[in-house]
Amino acid sequence: MVEIKTDASIEAMREAGRVVAQALAAVQDKAAVGVSLRELDRAARAVLVASGAGSPFLDYRPDWAPTPFPAVVCTSVNDAIVHGIPDDYRLRDGDLVSVDCGAIRGGWVGDAAVSFTVGTARPEDVRLIRIAERALEAGIAAAVVGNRIGDIAHAVGRVCRTAGYGIPDGFGGHGVGRQMHEDPGVPNEGRPGRGMPLRHGMVLAIEPMVIASGSDWHYTADDGWTIRTTDGSRASHAEHTVAITDDGPRILTAL
């Protein structure tokens, strides 16, 4: 069931979203060669605590997960696509890092992700990151009343495929509200004009993921969480929580 949010609820969700944006900014600020993934998690935790926000990631345990998630951010480096667990790995020159963060404030959830390079960036990584961001922008532009879920999916997928990148199947966006994952699902590829009509008050996480080699193949690592590319090529992830309104899409997880 899709929950339609009131305008007051959307304002409250904006506050949760702002905390996510601040946490991601703090993580990106902290990230440098030699810094551990655990330190990135600590930087995000400090922002959540200072904002009086909780984490929808910490102790999250979906059906398929062997263990509760132990951190407030996912840190996915290089061939990791999503769901990487922050550990003692220290960032190296040229690493491509995707960080996904959530916050709960006033009972509402915000969910967003950003990808960036550390140290000397490889040009192909800069392009990969930029295309994921462009796909997100295209998805947001399609998140308007009168369109359908398939229009968002199509917009996202077209940008990724046109660039020659792979799209891991089985992963995508979702409704957001009092729960991190609500209906409807928002696939990263689809047919325009299909699926649920978009209405004022729907709040969606839109989150393109791209694989550099063009392959869609991925697997779950031994930790039961980290999703990696099968061929070892690099991946990038971008995400915003977006409210659909009669005045157009509103990004709730911007600074």
CA 219 to CA 199: how far, in whole Å? 35
**Interface with Mg ion, residue 100, by CB under 5 A:** yes
Q: How far is the CB of 228 from Mg ion (least distance, A)?
A: 17
Q: How far is the CB of 19 from Mg ion (least distance, A)?
A: 14
Among residues 10, 142, 186, 205, the one that binds Mg ion under rule CB under 5 A: 205
Residue 162, both tokens: 């046109």
Binding mask 110-139 for Mg ion (x = CB under 5 A): -x-x--------------------------
Q: How far is the CB of 194 from Mg ion (least distance, A)?
A: 21
Residues in contact with 158: Cβ distance below 8 Å, sequence separation at least 6, in sequence order: 138
Strand 240-245 vs strand 218-220: parallel, antiparallel, or unpaired? Answer: unpaired
Q: Which C-beta is closer to Mg ion: that of 41 or that of 239?
A: 239
Nearest to 245, CA basis, from 175, 145, 138, 176: 145
Q: Which C-beta is closer to Mg ion: that of 173 or that of 201?
A: 173
Q: Which stretch binds Mg ion (CB under 5 A): 9-17, 40-48, 188-196, 238-246?
A: 238-246
Q: How far is the CB of 207 from Mg ion (least distance, A)?
A: 5
Number of Cβ atoms within 10 Å of the Cβ of 222: 7
* Buried-exposed string 104-132: b where 16+ CB fall within 10 A, e elsewhere: bbeebbbbbbbbbbbeeeeeebeebbebb
| Residues in touch with Mg ion (CB under 5 A) | 100, 111, 113, 205, 239
